[in-house]
């Protein structure tokens, strides 16, 4: 079968791989009908995530039709069309029973972190869904997202695998309340759905910060007030717009943040000190993140005092540095982590079904899986791509 395979930093290729087989009684084999490229795949692509090994099939946003089931699969059957959460959940461990789906204790045979598809040895080393077929373990847990008859296209529901729930999670852990002003950093796919979700939760105003006009225009279409940080200092602008009160902050960027502001920025100098980076943990020692703490620093200045800073953007431990002083002084709380997709995606599906939200305007490209290596280059440049979907 055809699959998108990681070969090394900035090198992904379509390879011929063996079709996966049932390995455990609760496995299913899914024929992938649509799959997407995520900002998280770019961290792997850059060779910046510990435990990324050549040969792995990437992709954790996918859906498809069940072609084969193991003997202990009872909740789904051959022919069902399902959207698969990117977290792999056993459904029975303490964490799954408490709906902490992103930290399942039994899905990852290689460590303590909850497993994900297509995402490094540390998260289990499972092959991903940018392929014609994928093995889905613990498949009884994916029954919740069978695609209903009323859904006509994959594109309406594909992003329930990750970025819609992740955007919602960003707003949820920030505890966005009716009447709040919210600042969402990053207008990529996760930022887009964090803006949408903040409005769903009743935000009064949402500021969307990025520097790519095509991406900012998408969040503007959702009603956000856009700030291009190449032209304007987001801290000054948001402080002014909120009469000094500040906003609830969501980081939809992560450690690959770039940082430069119109006035030269107001960045703590620790952010440019790369000496503490532990490059031995990653496969691309040449990589230097541009300014990994840029967004964290902005948020620590602009967050409404006593609020919770929300960080769905990924931070890789090889690049950790931290402004604890501001957090302490302004009594900010932080919540972050992988989205527990199953916590949100049924309700979000219902919003799509009844027409309250429509994720499809985000898609800028639909491409054949054969073109995936090219798609990684285009999405990595960000300028013209807002979301790319593959058809295997």
Ligand X SMILES: NC(=O)c1ccc[n+]([C@@H]2O[C@H](COP(=O)([O-])OP(=O)(O)OC[C@H]3O[C@@H](n4cnc5c(N)ncnc54)[C@H](O)[C@@H]3O)[C@@H](O)[C@H]2O)c1
Q: Least CB distance from residue 199 to ligand X, whole Å?
A: 17
Partner touching 229 among Zn ion, ligand X, none, CB below 5 to 8 Å by kind: ligand X
Residue of 162, 172, 181, 233 interacting with Zn ion (CB under 5 A): 162
Q: Confirm or reject binding of residue 332 to ligand X (CB under 6 A).
A: no
Q: Confirm or reject binding of residue 90 to Zn ion (CB under 5 A).
A: yes
Residue of 44, 49, 314, 349 interacting with ligand X (CB under 6 A): 314
Partner touching 252 among ligand X, Zn ion, none, CB below 5 to 8 Å by kind: ligand X
Residue whose CB is less far from ligand X, 139 or 253: 253
Residue 58, classed as helix, strand or coil, is coil
**How is residue 349 annotated by DSSP?**
H
Rounded CA separation 192/38 (Å): 13
Rounded CA separation 252/162 (Å): 13
Q: Confirm or reject binding of residue 313 to ligand X (CB under 6 A).
A: yes
Cα dihedral across residues 271, 261, 264, 241: positive or negative: negative
Residue 336, classed as helix, strand or coil, is strand
Residue of 3, 28, 34, 39 interacting with ligand X (CB under 6 A): 39
Question: Quick one: how far is CA 218 from the chain centroid?
Answer: 17
Please identify, among the stretches 103-111, 119-127, 205-213, 320-328, the one whose residues bind ligand X according to the rule CB under 6 A. Answer: 205-213
Q: Confirm or reject binding of residue 30 to ligand X (CB under 6 A).
A: no
Instruction: Give, as ranges, the residues between 97 and 156 that touch Zn ion (CB under 5 A).
Output: 104, 106
In a 10 Å sphere around its CB, with 0-12 CB exposed, 13-18 middle and 19+ buried, how is residue 355 labelled? exposed
Residue of 29, 42, 122, 372 interacting with ligand X (CB under 6 A): 42
Measure Cα distances from 280 to 12, 184, 283, 316 in Å: 22, 32, 8, 13
Instruction: Give, as ranges, the residues between 10 and 69 that touch Zn ion (CB under 5 A).
Output: 38, 40
In a 10 Å sphere around its CB, with 0-12 CB exposed, 13-18 middle and 19+ buried, how is residue 349 labelled? buried
Q: Confirm or reject binding of residue 233 to ligand X (CB under 6 A).
A: no
Residue whose CB is less far from ligand X, 35 or 40: 40
Q: Confirm or reject binding of residue 362 to ligand X (CB under 6 A).
A: no
In a 10 Å sphere around its CB, with 0-12 CB exposed, 13-18 middle and 19+ buried, how is residue 149 labelled? exposed
Rounded CA separation 68/70 (Å): 7
Please identify, among the stretches 62-70, 103-111, 251-259, 268-276, the one whose residues bind ligand X according to the rule CB under 6 A. Answer: 251-259
CB neighbourhood size of 239 (10 A) = 16
Residue whose CB is less far from Zn ion, 29 or 164: 164
Helical residues (DSSP H) of the chain, grouped into ranges: 39-45, 94-97, 154-157, 163-173, 189-200, 213-221, 234-241, 294-302, 324-329, 345-353, 372-381
Question: Which residues contact Zn ion (rule: CB under 5 A)?
Answer: 38, 40, 90, 93, 96, 104, 106, 162
Question: Which residues contact ligand X (rule: CB under 6 A)?
Answer: 38-40, 42-43, 162-163, 166, 185-191, 209-212, 215, 229, 252-254, 257-259, 294-295, 312-314, 338-339, 382
């Amino acid at each position: 079968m055809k699959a998108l395979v990681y070969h090394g930093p900035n090198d992904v290729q379509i390879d011929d791989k063996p079709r996966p087989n049932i390995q455990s009684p609760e496995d299913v084999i899914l024929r992938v009908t649509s799959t997407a490229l995520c900002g998280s795949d770019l961290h792997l692509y850059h060779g910046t995530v510990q435990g990324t090994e050549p040969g792995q099939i990437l992709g954790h946003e996918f859906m498809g039709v069940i072609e084969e089931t193991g003997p202990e699969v009872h909740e789904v059957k051959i022919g069902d069309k399902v959207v698969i959460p990117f977290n792999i959940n056993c459904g029975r461990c303490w964490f799954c029973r408490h709906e902490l789906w992103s930290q399942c204790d039994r899905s990852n045979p290689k460590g303590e972190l909850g497993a994900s598809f297509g995402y490094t040895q540390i998260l289990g080393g499972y092959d991903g869904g940018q392929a014609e077929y994928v093995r889905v373990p613990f498949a009884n847990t994916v029954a919740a997202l069978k695609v209903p008859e009323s859904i006509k296209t994959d594109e309406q529901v594909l992003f329930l695998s990750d970025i819609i729930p992740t955007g919602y999670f960003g707003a949820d852990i920030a505890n966005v309340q009716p009447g709040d002003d919210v600042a969402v950093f990053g207008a990529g796919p996760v930022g887009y759905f964090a803006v949408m979700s903040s409005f769903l939760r009743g935000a009064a105003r949402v500021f969307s910060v990025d520097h790519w006009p095509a991406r900012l225009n998408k969040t503007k279409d959702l009603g956000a007030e856009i700030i291009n940080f190449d032209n304007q200092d987001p801290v000054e602008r948001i402080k002014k717009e909120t009469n000094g009160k500040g906003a609830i902050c969501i980081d939809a960027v992560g450690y690959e943040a770039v940082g430069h502001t119109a006035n030269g920025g107001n960045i703590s100098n620790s952010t440019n000190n790369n000496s503490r980076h532990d490059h031995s943990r990653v496969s691309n020692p040449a990589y230097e993140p541009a300014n990994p703490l840029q967004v964290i620093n902005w948020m620590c200045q602009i967050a409404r005092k006593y609020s919770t800073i929300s960080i769905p953007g990924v931070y890789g431990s090889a690049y950790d540095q931290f402004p604890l002083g501001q957090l302490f002084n302004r009594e900010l709380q932080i919540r972050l982590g992988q989205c527990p997709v199953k916590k949100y995606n049924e309700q979000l599906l219902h919003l799509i079904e009844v027409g309250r939200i429509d994720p499809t305007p985000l898609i800028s490209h639909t491409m054949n899986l054969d073109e995936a290596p090219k798609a990684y280059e285009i999405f990595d440049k960000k300028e013209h791509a807002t979301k790319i979907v593959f058809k295997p």
